[in-house]
Homo-oligomer: A and B are copies of this chain.
């Protein structure tokens, strides 16, 4: 293998730049030519390729987002789109591919190999942390810290005003961020897609806690579990006191990555290149027991990583 490509795809997550840097530098140091593919699979179809050298990735590890940009590419989800993309790769002499992204991106990579025999290796990057077989995905740790920082600020004013606050965080199908953020901030409740919520019971609990003297109340809600506006309405109708809303939105995707995400991404990036050089394909880099292991993408996609219900219980016990 002499030339490999690297791309980021789907929703961006903090740490993707560290992964790109590691792929480029580890590749170059091992004699490979490394091609950056712009805007994910869209750029692959367009042939938006550019060779990247050691210095092209200087100073990017600490920056949020992805210097390769990203997209969700409808065309690539058709066989014709993938055929076009594969042709472009072959034209450019790209013999192996590192794909950094979430579930959809890894699925695309697998199809590219199955249909066009281009060796692919995946790096799980998504703030939802919903990918099985790996302890963590790149970006989750940074996202979680951004969220707890925001909630901590809310608590200051919540305590001063004796009010209830509803804060909406990312997670269309996964309550990972909401639950862990609630636990890490001692928030009163996490409302997540995986667990149905009984608003009457919740309202009663909050009411009891207020009677016992608790003067602030923070509810963290995953966007996929109804969203802040709806939850606030449901609560306000029941408990009657003023409820304020925060929707953090894409603030959660940005920011300089934490040490954890930089290290995870750097290790996975280097390991992904190693895997390609060893002739592997359709493998995903996974964090297990502090080591980077190679697991089949198919395994990782077979099941969604579920919510850890013991954490859910713990969050109720400790709040």
Contact = CB atoms under 8 A, between A and B. Distances in A.
Given A69-B162, A259-B144, A288-B289, A266 B318 contact: yes
A153 to B, nearest CB: 3
A287 to B, nearest CB: 9
Interface stretch (A75-83, A116-124, A249-257, A296-304): A249-257
Interface string A274-302: 00000000000000111000000000000
A235 B196 CA distance: 36
A111 interface: no
B255 A156 contact: yes
A91 interface: no
Interface string A55-88: 1001101111110011100000000000000000
Given A247-B247, A318-B25, A157 B259 contact: no
A22 B183 CA distance: 11
A228 B43 CA distance: 32
A286 B171 CA distance: 29
Contacts of A230: none
Contacts of A165: 249-250
Number of copies: 4
A146 B153 contact: yes
Contact of A156 (B71, B247, B253): B253
B180 A259 contact: yes
Nearest to A308: B290
Contacts of A65: 156-157, 159-160
A62 to B, nearest CB: 6
Contacts of A12: 156-157, 160-161
Contact residue range for chain A? 35 or more
Contacts of A161: 12, 69-71
A250 B157 contact: yes
A29 interface: yes
A141 interface: yes
Nearest to A135: B290
Nearest to A145: B259
B246 A157 contact: no
A14 interface: yes
Contacts of A32: none
A16 B157 CA distance: 11
Contacts of A311: 263, 267
Contacts of A246: 247-251
A154 interface: yes
